[in-house]
Amino acid sequence: MAAAPLYCVCRQPYDFNRFMIECDICKDWFHGSCVQVVEHHAADIDVYHCPNCEPIHGPSMMKKRNNWHRHDYTEPNDGTRPVQAGTAVFVQELQTRSFASGDEILVPMHGSQVTQCYLEREGFHYPIVVHDLDGLGLKLPPPLFSVSDVEHYVGANKVIDVIDVARQADSKLKLGEFVKYYYQPERSKVLNLISLEFSDTKMSNLVEVPEIARKMSWVENYWPDDSFFPKPFVQKYCLMGMKNSYTDFHIDFGGTSVWYHVLWGEKIFYLIKPTKANLALYESWSSSPNQSEIFFGDKVDKCYKCVVKQGTTIFLPTGWIHAVLTSQDSMAFGGNFLHNLNIGMQLRCYEMERRLKTPDLFKFPYFEAICWYVANNLLETLKELREDNCQPQGYLVDGVKALISSLKTWLRREVRECFEVPDNIRPSRLIKALTKEIRYLEDESNKAGKSQGSAEWPLARSSLEKGYQAQRAARRKLPSNLDVLELHTLEVLKRLEVGPLEEVKRPTSPSTADAIQGMLSMAGLLCQQASAGGDILQQHWWSSQGNSNSNSSSDTWDSSEPCSAPRSPEGEDGSLGEEYSYRESSLSPPLHPSKRHAPNPTPISNQATKGKRPKKGQATTKQRLGKIMKMSRHKGLFL
């Protein structure tokens, strides 16, 4: 076998994880770290001379700046080309634009008011701003925590993705290099770091996610400990942005909701409601070739400006389209979470990402897998509610309907594409069972409609109080609590097609009580109890549908069905029409590579992805090897 070619002063073979630059004289390639060229600097070099060639041919030559309004600052400044997002001119102009006031939409709340009960009752459709953090359950480092403190806790060698704001281009760098650059008295570039997920670092102990984000999070509640897929970590980001950093309009991955706390500095959010019209406009803007030259805020009816000062926390609900200007050097913490309150909108955002061909790295890791886990859990919830003559809340019914519709669509394409159906889930059966539960609820609702005023299916107080929770808790099956033997049994049963998964029941141990409480609460039960007071006890479950306070998806801009997601062609009855049985039909289906047992799967976070949209750009010969390396990781991000 021929020996691999060697490169650089270090004479090493090509390592696709390391950025390299080509010498314009000797044509050899050099590791950025071996020749002290950081990746984002390579973009400024016109002609590169390596350390061997420099003594003879002189130093490298830098590109000449011709403009301040284009991503490529060498373009001639002849007034013909529009301003591009992120450039110095853009940021200056942004500050003089006028916007609707954030006060029109922001819901100011005290930390202790931001509870699951509140959101289940009122809905989570508008951004929430919290100035008094008491009761929020958010733990933070002290206000003077510095950029070099982050380096201390996370490690100087941690490779991070930073955004060169003026080019809106993403490059890799070591945290130590970023910190050194941050403290330089004069910075030639504005760098924005928004993708540093630190759950797996020592800094994790210094930050506790707001309780509401923990309690509602799908990953926290529904991701089984024994999942074949590695658990997604997207709950703890540290954002360090230099003054005038700008992140263009985007929807957070998978339609996740997000919290941000500005520890110091200031961030300005430009917010747009995810109405059907706005989402359609966003989708077409996102796929337009001159996206960076069009300010999306101008395309919509209303764009709200919200200044988030230090010490403030903001929560953005599902689907909100936002851009962010970092108006001062800032440090912020934030995290993303999926939840039960806006399932339909989450799915709509995910389907849009798919249509826009968003690279995996920019998407919620294993989004479809988590939806299957959630569906499995919600089925249990609906069944138990039915058994106990209790009705689920409107948002949950709408969410399950939207989930069924998406799961069917995914199942149809599973056969052709790489799939994320977890091993212990039998998809067709699950979809059918969920459909049955929904149909049952609809039948009851129709019956109730006919006999209005009668208390056919009351929410009895006792059924919502402690005893009831305990009763449900005792019945509930937590996937994370299955032991090896049981898993094995399930697997064998599944393969032998003996009985539904749900038939294998086991009592839960008292130690899972907290988790159970969380799950009950997620299913909308605890909330009903707490918010019931006296009146609701007399109400029928259907009465909440006409209630403007209820958290149903009757919002004008949040209808339950995905607006543009591909519709499944199945019949009205929701049946699949045929049995989609890739997995069921085979006793030993092939394992997807990512489903093979990994003893210690590495945490997955989309570290390079937060808030960033992939941009197409030209790679120069100088960076080509580096870019090729990136392409394989970013799926064609640059080429």
CB of 324 to ligand AKG, least distance (A): 4
CB of 201 to Fe ion, least distance (A): 22
Q: What residue ranges in 69-226 does DSSP mark as E strands?
A: 100-101, 107-109, 128-130, 159-164, 169-174, 191-197
| 52/508 with CB nearer Zn ion | 52
Cα dihedral 186, 192, 197, 198, rounded to 10, equals 20
Alpha carbons 531 and 132: distance in angstroms, whole number: 23
Per-residue binding letters, 191-210, with ligand AKG (x by CB under 6 A): -x-x----------------
Integer CA distances (angstroms), 324 to 186, 487, 501, 528, 549, in order? 23, 46, 46, 37, 31
With contacts defined by CB under 5 A, name the span among 9-17, 247-255, 491-499, 584-592 that binds Zn ion.
9-17
Alpha carbons 164 and 606: distance in angstroms, whole number: 18
Buried b (16+ CB within 10 A) or exposed e, 317-330: bbbbbbbbbbbbbb
In one-letter notation, the amino acid at residue 446 is: N
Within residues 11-30, the interface with Zn ion by CB under 5 A covers 23, 25-26
CB of 56 to Zn ion, least distance (A): 9
In one-letter notation, the amino acid at residue 624 is: R
Within residues 528-587, the interface with ligand AKG by CB under 6 A covers none
With contacts defined by CB under 6 A, name the span among 116-124, 240-248, 383-391, 417-425 that binds ligand AKG.
240-248
Residue 53 interacts with, from Zn ion, ligand AKG, Fe ion, none (CB under 5-8 Å by kind): Zn ion
Kindly give, in sequence order, each residue whose CB lies less than 8 Å from that of residue 255, ignoring residues fewer than 6 positions away. Answer: 318, 319, 338, 342, 345, 346, 347, 348, 349, 350
Q: Are 159 and 173 in contact (CB under 8 A)?
A: yes
Report the residue number whose CB is nearest to ligand AKG: 611
Choose among 200, 205, 150, 253: nearest CA to 604: 200
Among 611, 622, 630, 634, binds Fe ion (CB under 5 A): 611
Kindly give, in sequence order, each residue whose CB lies less than 8 Å from that of residue 87, ignoring residues fewer than 6 positions away. Answer: 68, 69, 70, 71, 166
Residue 194 interacts with, from ligand AKG, Fe ion, Zn ion, none (CB under 5-8 Å by kind): ligand AKG
Kindly give, in sequence order, each residue whose CB lies less than 8 Å from that of residue 180, ignoring residues fewer than 6 positions away. Answer: none
Residue 239 is a binding residue for ligand AKG (CB under 6 A): yes
Within residues 27-86, the interface with Zn ion by CB under 5 A covers 31, 34, 50, 52-53
CB of 247 to ligand AKG, least distance (A): 4
| 38/385 with CB nearer Zn ion | 38
Instruction: Please report the sign of the dihedral spanned by the C-alpha atoms of residue 148, residue 149, residue 150, residue 153.
Output: positive
With contacts defined by CB under 6 A, name the span among 226-234, 322-330, 490-498, 591-599 that binds ligand AKG.
322-330
Alpha carbons 207 and 323: distance in angstroms, whole number: 25
Element (H, E) at 403: helix 394-414
CB of 616 to Fe ion, least distance (A): 21
Residue 151 is a binding residue for Fe ion (CB under 5 A): no
| 29/295 with CB nearer Fe ion | 295
Residue 322 is a binding residue for ligand AKG (CB under 6 A): yes
Residue 263 is a binding residue for ligand AKG (CB under 6 A): no
CB of 337 to ligand AKG, least distance (A): 13
Choose among 211, 241, 236, 191: nearest CA to 333: 236
| 30/246 with CB nearer Fe ion | 246
Alpha carbons 403 and 339: distance in angstroms, whole number: 12
Residue 611 is a binding residue for ligand AKG (CB under 6 A): yes
Residue 368 is a binding residue for Fe ion (CB under 5 A): no
Alpha carbons 552 and 398: distance in angstroms, whole number: 7
Among 426, 476, 610, 630, binds ligand AKG (CB under 6 A): 610
CB of 241 to ligand AKG, least distance (A): 5
Alpha carbons 320 and 441: distance in angstroms, whole number: 31
Alpha carbons 391 and 382: distance in angstroms, whole number: 8
With contacts defined by CB under 5 A, name the span among 103-111, 491-499, 520-528, 606-614 that binds Fe ion.
606-614
| 322/401 with CB nearer ligand AKG | 322
| 192/550 with CB nearer ligand AKG | 192
| 31/261 with CB nearer Zn ion | 31
Token pair, residue 67, equals 């403009």
CB of 164 to ligand AKG, least distance (A): 13
Residues that bind ligand AKG in the complex, under the rule CB under 6 A: 192, 194, 239, 241, 245, 247, 252, 267, 322, 324, 326, 610-611
Q: What is the binding site for Fe ion (CB under 5 A)?
A: 252, 611
